[in-house]
């Protein structure tokens, strides 16, 4: 099968979160399963310097965007065993310091930037001699592709391939003032107030357009697929999702174990595995040293890596830590995002010197070291479509403490669910108290070395590899083709 993927971020070229990891890994998994996959993504600043093998693809875009025409060039990269990557070079749009924002402010022209990107995707789907049989788009940035393809069909594209939309996070929908609709150059009926269109409460909603016009929809865990059809977690689109529930499925993300492993990983201080755990102690010691916490083997070390956004449960985490840091524990945090949250973490570190280490910014290397060096990993998300860090934690023998929501609930097994297979701690209520109780449970497990080892072993043996995930995507593609 020939699958064209489209995403505004792809690891290792660009990344702000799980979307990049997922699309990079899906491309590779499709190729490994014997299919042909190509990924389209913008050429952001610095990518060409980091990947000098990227070549011009001798393809020029000259596409309408509202009343203007916008030009772009295509670049490509082939790597053995990987999906081919097509990069859209449009310096005015993509050669910037950030991907979506700068100094905590979204770019004012994000509608233009990603509507143009979506048009390039459609153009490639239609005119590349390599004829894609399936077009799989990700999140709002490519959400208008199915609508744009339908319009091309009306305008003479004989037999366009079917489309699949994956929602990685319903909270980000690409909502813009109605005037932005003109940039799509779609006829007015695509902006229909009766709900069958890209219009939503008088605004252009790129993700809603994808939900309405895609042939199939997936999201990144079975539980999140159910949750987004409810008012509580539907982010205003639950009604539209219920209407389209027949084409919606939840597929848990896989982990790229070639990147995220403890046996052959240049980021780690020492390799370790489920049968040779001594190396984990070295990683703990070196992590403590690196983030300037007292080196102490016996003190339980908790960690977090996340975007500092409301979704991630920062408020209850700050409250629970405030309470629990009076015990003999350490906490290390890596994150970036809201300046208020950064300030709150800095305050926490100042109040608990020698117990709390906070690092801000994006740091791939440190993220592996936190996963490897900690004893427990905190993910108290308000909602979590899939979540990758709890999956990485399991493989790294770092016991996850998670709120039972979305993919966190689907991937972590607690003692009450299955005592023999437990690999993490779950709590249900979104409160400081419930999280603090989860941390107390962790401390109780830590005091019982046999039990602690068992949780770790269960986690490290759990298999969230892409083999299973890719088969589910292929099933979805095949179902859509029919």
List binders of ligand ADP among 136-195 (CB under 6 A).
Answer: 169
Q: Is 250 in the site for ligand ADP (CB under 6 A)?
A: no
Q: Which member of 8, 244, 317, 389 binds ligand ADP (CB under 6 A)?
A: 389
Name the token pair of 415. Answer: 């003692």
Beta strands in 297-432 (DSSP E): 301-308, 330-337, 356-360, 376-379, 399-403, 425-427
Minimum distance between the CB of residue 238 and ligand ADP, rounded to whole angstroms?
A: 20
Residue number, 21 or 112, with CB nearest to ligand ADP: 21
Please report whether residue 362 would count as binding ligand ADP according to CB under 6 A: yes
User: Sign of the CA dihedral 376, 378, 379, 382?
Assistant: positive
Q: In whole angstroms, what is the distance from residue 339 CA to residue 170 CA?
A: 23
For position 210 contacting ligand ADP by CB under 6 A, the verdict is: no
Residues in the chain: 482
- Smallest distance from the beta carbon of 335 to ligand ADP, in angstroms? 5
From the list 70, 150, 334, 408, which residue makes contact with ligand ADP (rule: CB under 6 A)?
334
Q: How far is the CB of 388 from ligand ADP (least distance, A)?
A: 4
Q: Is 306 in the site for ligand ADP (CB under 6 A)?
A: yes
Q: Strand, helix or coil at 42?
A: strand
Closer by beta carbon to ligand ADP, 169 or else 184: 169
Per CB under 6 A, which of residues 3..42 are in contact with ligand ADP?
Answer: 17-19, 21
Instruction: List, in sequence order, every beta strand (DSSP E) within 263-329.
Output: 301-308
**55 SS3 class:** strand
Among 307, 437, 453, 457, binds ligand ADP (CB under 6 A): 307
Tell me which stretch binds ligand ADP (CB under 6 A): 61-69, 102-110, 113-121, 300-308.
Answer: 300-308
**Binding of ligand ADP by 335 (CB under 6 A):** yes
Can you state the percent helix, strand and coil of the chain, rounding each to 5? 40, 20, 35
Binder to ligand ADP among 229, 336, 423, 480 (CB under 6 A)? Answer: 336
Q: What torsion, rounded to 10 degrees, do the Cα atoms 9, 182, 189, 205 define?
A: 40
If binding is defined by CB under 6 A, does position 414 make contact with ligand ADP? no
For residues 256 and 21, the answer to whether their CB atoms sit within 8 Å is: yes
Q: Say how many C-beta atoms besides its own lie within 10 A of residue 242's C-beta.
A: 15
Binding site for ligand ADP (CB under 6 A): 17-19, 21, 169, 305-307, 334-336, 362-364, 367, 386-389
């Amino acid at each position: 099968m020939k699958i064209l993927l489209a995403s505004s971020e792809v690891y290792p070229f660009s990344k702000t979160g799980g979307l990049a990891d997922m699309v990079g890994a899906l491309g590779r998994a499709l190729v490994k399963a014997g299919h042909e996959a190509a990924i389209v993504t913008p050429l952001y600043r610095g990518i060409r310097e980091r990947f000098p093998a990227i070549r011009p693809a001798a393809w020029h875009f000259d596409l309408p965007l509202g009343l203007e025409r916008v030009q772009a060039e295509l670049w490509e990269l082939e790597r053995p065993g990987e999906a081919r990557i097509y990069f859209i070079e449009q310096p005015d749009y993509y050669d910037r310091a950030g991907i979506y924002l700068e100094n905590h402010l979204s770019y004012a022209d994000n509608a233009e930037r990603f509507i143009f990107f979506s048009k390039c995707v459609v153009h490639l789907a239609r005119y590349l001699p390599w004829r894609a049989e399936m077009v799989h788009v990700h999140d709002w940035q490519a959400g208008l592709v199915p609508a744009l393809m339908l319009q091309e069909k009306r305008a003479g594209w004989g037999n366009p391939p079917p489309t699949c939309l994956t929602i990685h996070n319903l909270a980000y929908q690409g909502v813009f003032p109605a005037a932005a609709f003109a940039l799509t150059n779609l006829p007015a009926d695509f902006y229909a107030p009766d709900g069958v269109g890209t219009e939503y409460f008088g605004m252009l909603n790129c993700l809603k357009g994808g939900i309405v016009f895609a042939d199939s929809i997936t999201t990144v865990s079975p539980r999140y697929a159910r949750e987004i059809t409810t008012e509580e977690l539907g982010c205003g689109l639950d009604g539209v999702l219920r209407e389209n529930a027949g084409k919606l499925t939840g597929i848990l993300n896989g982990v790229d174990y070639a990147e995220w492993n403890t046996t052959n990983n240049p980021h780690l201080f020492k390799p370790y595995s489920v049968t040779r755990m001594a190396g984990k102690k070295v990683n703990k010691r070196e992590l403590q040293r690196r983030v300037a916490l007292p080196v102490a083997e016996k003190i339980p070390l908790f960690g977090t890596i996340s975007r500092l956004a409301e979704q991630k449960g920062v408020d209850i985490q700050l409250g629970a830590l405030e309470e629990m840091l009076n015990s003999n524990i350490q906490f290390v945090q890596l994150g970036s995002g809201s300046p208020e949250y950064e300030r709150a973490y800095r305050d926490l570190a100042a109040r608990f010197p020698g117990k709390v280490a906070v690092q801000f910014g994006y740091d791939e290397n440190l993220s592996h070291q936190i996963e490897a060096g900690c004893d427990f990993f905190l993910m108290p998300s308000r909602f979590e479509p899939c979540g990758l860090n709890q999956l990485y934690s399991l493989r790294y023998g770092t016991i996850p403490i998670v709120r039972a929501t979305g993919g966190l609930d689907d991937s972590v097994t607690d003692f009450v669910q299955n005592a023999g297979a437990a690999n993490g701690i779950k709590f249900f209520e979104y409160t400081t108290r419930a999280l603090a109780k989860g941390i107390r449970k962790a401390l109780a497990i830590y005091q019982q070395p046999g039990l602690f080892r068992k949780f770790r072993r269960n986690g490290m043996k759990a298999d969230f590899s892409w083999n299973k995930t890719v088969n589910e995507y292929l099933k979805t593609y095949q179902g859509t083709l029919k």
